[in-house]
Amino acid sequence: MLFNVKRKLLKVTYFLIGISIVLFIIFSNFFKGLSVDFIGVPNKAISSIVESFNNLFVYLQDKKSLLEENKSLKKQIEILKLENQKNFYLEKENEALKKMLDFKNYYGFSHVLVGKVIGFSPDNWVDGFFIDLGKKENIKEGDLVVAGGYLIGIVKVVGQNFSEVMSVNDKNFKITVRTRKTGEICFYNGLDYKKGVLKYVRPEQDIRFSDVVETTVINSSNPEGIPIGIVRKISTKEGEFFREIEIETFYYPYSLNYVLVIPR
């Protein structure tokens, strides 16, 4: 009898110990956390896979529309960029034209034409360019061409809609000029890139360094006072009667855009 009671008590004890262990495990934070981790890892993997599938599905579904949207956005960006460039260009163009207008008002020319440079001479031995003004605009051979307030050339060949201008740097360019300070009359001849010379300058003529050389009305119907260049070098060659005067011109072909044509 006693043996049976002992056995029952032992069973109850085991039971209570078991219950205590279970309750400990259930209410223990450590095991709770551990269990969350246990369930979390596979769930995360599963949810990732599901999400990936969903994303793939959504991507496949929206790919076309997204691409189209992207394309239209890119197009809009390009249009905006172009507009920006256009505005910048218009601003520059406006500045250049304003300068030309100032020049016209300063010299009081009654009639001037604005031409656009459309090309340059294909021949390396010719320094000239083409403008979009021709006979239709009443352009004539010998009209002066001005840019940035300086004489840069003279119209040489006139077509119906276009003309060819010989620049002041060309060796065949010749014009009668005078010096601004002393009013000495000389003969200008183009020489090379940004260079020209004054020919037949007598020793008694008063030519000064840094003096401006400008157009004159003597022996021509050209408007006077348009600057051509600045005196940069004065030298005398031994055994030669005339002095050698070097002029720096202001014709720079690489930035040429609009020019002013002054009809005679």
Partner 1 sequence: MIYYGKYFLVAYILILIQSSIFFKKTFNFFVIPDFALIYIFWLTIENKQTIAKYVGLFVGIFLDLVNPDKTFINTFTYFFSTLYIINLKNNFLNFNFILKLLTVILLSLIVSVPKTTYLFFTTGFLVNEDFKLISFYVLANTVMMYFVYYFDIFVLKRNEV
**Nearer residue to partner 1 within complex by CB, 31 or 193:** 193
Minimum Å distance from CB 116 to partner 1?
Answer: 9
Binding site for partner 1 (CB under 8 A): 117-126, 128, 130, 156-157, 164-166, 170-172, 189, 191-193, 197, 253-254
Nearest-approach distance from CB 168 to partner 1, in angstroms: 13
CB of 234 to partner 1, least distance (A): 17
Q: Rank residues 113 and 126 by Cβ distance to partner 1 and give the closer one.
A: 126
Question: Strand pairing partners for 144?
Answer: 154, 262
Dihedral class, residue 149 (left if φ above 0, else alpha if ψ from -120 to 50, else beta): left
Of 147 and 165, the one with the shorter C-beta distance to partner 1 is 165
CA R_g for the chain: 45
Closer residue to partner 1, CB minimum distance, 120 or 250: 120
Find the shortest distance in angstroms from Cβ 107 to partner 1.
Answer: 25
Residue type, 230: I
Yes or no: say if 167 and 147 are a contact pair by the CB < 8 Å rule: no
Residue 251 tokens, joined: 């014709």
Report helix, strand or coil for 173. Answer: coil
Q: Which is nearer to partner 1, 189 or 215 (CB)?
A: 189
Place of tokens 């218009």: 90
Closest CB 253 distance from partner 1, rounded Å = 7
CB atoms within 10 A of CB 185: 14
Place of tokens 């450590």: 30
